[in-house]
Amino acid sequence: EDKVVQSPLSLVVHEGDTVTLNCSYEVTNFRSLLWYKQEKKAPTFLFMLTSSGIEKKSGRLSSILDKKELFSILNITATQTGDSAIYLCAVETSYGGSQGNLIFGKGTKLSVKP
């Protein structure tokens, strides 16, 4: 059975700290791994990773994928209170040869204290 496991499930830090969120997976027909940030409503897209070892960066956020060890990490440096959210990891698999079945992890709830 396909599964995506995130750790930790929750994390409390202070502003300025650096955090690392983990995502491991076991799936068949891997296409890509995605990170989303969810506050009150829609998950908002952060990164899509398809190749091992290539870091993607966006401001204070970065992510990398290891397809051999089947995991990804999301790093946030110099955290701010606005980073408080649930961070979802999702793995996209091919379904019957066609695109686009996302298997989500349970998420990591990040709380950044002032």
Partner 1 sequence: DTEVTQTPKHLVMGMTNKKSLKCEQHMGHRAMYWYKQKAKKPPELMFVYSYEKLSINESVPSRFSPECPNSSLLNLHLHALQPEDSALYLCASSQVGAGDNSPLHFGNGTRLTVT
Interface residues toward partner 1, by CB under 8 A: 31-32, 34, 36, 41-45, 48, 50, 88, 90, 95-96, 98-102, 104-107
Nearest approach, Cβ of residue 16 and partner 1 (Å): 28
Is omega for the bond preceding 8 within 30 degrees of 0, making it cis?
Answer: yes
Measuring CA to CA, how many Å separate 31 from each of 16, 48, 56?
34, 10, 17
- Please say which residue, 79 or 108, places its beta carbon nearer to partner 1: 108
Report the alpha-carbon distance of residue 26 to residue 30 in Å, rounded: 9
- Please say which residue, 97 or 114, places its beta carbon nearer to partner 1: 97
Amino acid making up residue 46: L
Q: Phi-psi category of 70—alpha, beta or left, where left has phi over 0 and alpha has psi -120 to 50?
A: left
- Please say which residue, 62 or 101, places its beta carbon nearer to partner 1: 101
Nearest approach, Cβ of residue 43 and partner 1 (Å): 5
Nearest approach, Cβ of residue 52 and partner 1 (Å): 15
